[in-house]
């Protein structure tokens, strides 16, 4: 009585074509590759079950009126599912630093779609899809403050970060003398800077830009940090066929205009 149901990948021909484009095709031929790239398992048949931290707008958040998840990644998940002949199912929000362990442990969700940077450390635990968004870091302070990266690197200064993120890692490495405050969400971090609880936030640039524009006009970005990050979708290492199918769907979404439409929806134009 397993929760896992094996599922044939339904769009084999589209997959093969897009797989070549994405550079993930393991060549044609009749012999099934050992990685079984034509098949994958899902925790619930017919559904792509997704997890995230739903406090990371515009990539993911909860619509205040409906309580439903919305955002760039939510639209990516819907389009992915459509391209794969699946429905999409979003589970409740969880802390960002629990996402990789949840996917690694298996049984609860198929993918984490969470503005998650592809890192070597994460790739030891889970597989990451091909990149679908480029990102960088930023330092955010109260507007008009005279802080700089140099003045912030002091024990008297508190830098708020979201636990387990690349922003937290950047702050540890580059502001080693500052006091770090690890929080569950970037919203808590920004609100804390707004109220004077913390001196700065280090977080992904697309998120700080969006947040300042939409909700925190009294904050400003004092530094854009070109970390050259790329977001990918986390999949269990036990499910290589799913990663392959997601990469194929992402490649289709790039060529058929789906990704451009989602970028236009959330960022005003294609990224």
CB-wise, 145 or 180, nearer to ligand GLN?
180
| Contacts (CB under 6 A) with ligand GLN, residues 69-98 | 96
CB-wise, 11 or 136, nearer to ligand GLN?
136
| Contacts (CB under 6 A) with ligand GLN, residues 203-262 | 204
Pairing mode, strands 158-162 and 179-183: parallel
Pairing mode, strands 158-162 and 133-142: unpaired
Residue 165 binds ligand GLN, judged by CB under 6 A: yes
Burial class (CB within 10 angstroms; exposed 0-12, middle 13-18, buried 19+) of 220: middle
Using CB under 6 A as the criterion, what x/- string covers residues 43-72 for binding ligand GLN? ----------x--x----------------
Please give the order of strands across the beta sheet that includes 127-128.
87-90, 47-51, 111-112, 234-235, 127-128
CB-wise, 130 or 252, nearer to ligand GLN?
130
Taking CB under 6 A as the binding criterion, the range among 37-45, 115-123, 141-149, 254-262 that sits at the site for ligand GLN is 115-123
CA atoms in the 13 A half-sphere facing the CB of 25: 15
Please give the order of strands across the beta sheet that includes 179-183.
179-183, 158-162, 200-204, 133-142, 219-231
The size of the interface with ligand GLN (CB under 6 A), counted in residues, is 12
Taking CB under 6 A as the binding criterion, the range among 10-18, 29-37, 109-117, 259-267 that sits at the site for ligand GLN is 109-117
CB-wise, 42 or 51, nearer to ligand GLN?
51
User: Binding residues for ligand GLN, per CB under 6 A?
Assistant: 53, 56, 96, 114-117, 135, 162, 165-166, 204
């Amino acid at each position: 009585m397993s929760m896992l149901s094996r599922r044939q990948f339904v769009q084999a021909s589209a997959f093969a074509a897009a797989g070549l484009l994405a550079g993930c095709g393991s060549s044609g031929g009749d012999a099934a590759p050992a990685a079984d790239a034509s098949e994958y398992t899902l925790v619930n048949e017919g559904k792509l079950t997704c997890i995230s931290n739903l406090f990371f707008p515009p990539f993911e958040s909860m619509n205040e009126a409906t309580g439903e998840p919305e955002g760039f990644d939510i639209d990516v998940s819907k389009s992915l599912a459509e391209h794969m002949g699946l429905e999409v199912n979003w589970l409740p929000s969880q802390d960002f630093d629990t996402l990789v362990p949840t996917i690694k442990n298996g049984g609860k969700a198929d993918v984490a779609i969470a503005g998650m940077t592809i890192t070597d450390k994460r790739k030891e635990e889970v597989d990451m899809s091909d990149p679908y968004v480029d990102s960088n870091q930023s330092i955010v302070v109260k507007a008009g403050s005279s802080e700089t990266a140099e003045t912030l690197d002091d024990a008297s200064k508190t830098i708020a970060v979201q636990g387990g993120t690349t922003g937290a890692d950047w702050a540890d490495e580059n502001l080693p003398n500052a006091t770090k405050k690890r929080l569950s969400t970037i919203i808590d971090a920004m609100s804390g800077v707004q109220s004077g609880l913390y001196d700065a936030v280090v977080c992904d640039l697309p998120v700080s830009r969006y947040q300042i524009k939409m909700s925190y006009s009294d904050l400003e970005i004092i530094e854009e940090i070109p970390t050259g990050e790329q977001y990918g979708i986390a999949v269990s290492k036990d499910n290589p066929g799913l990663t392959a199918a997601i990469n194929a769907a992402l490649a289709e979404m790039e060529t058929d205009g789906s990704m451009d439409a989602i970028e236009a929806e959330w960022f005003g134009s294609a990224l």
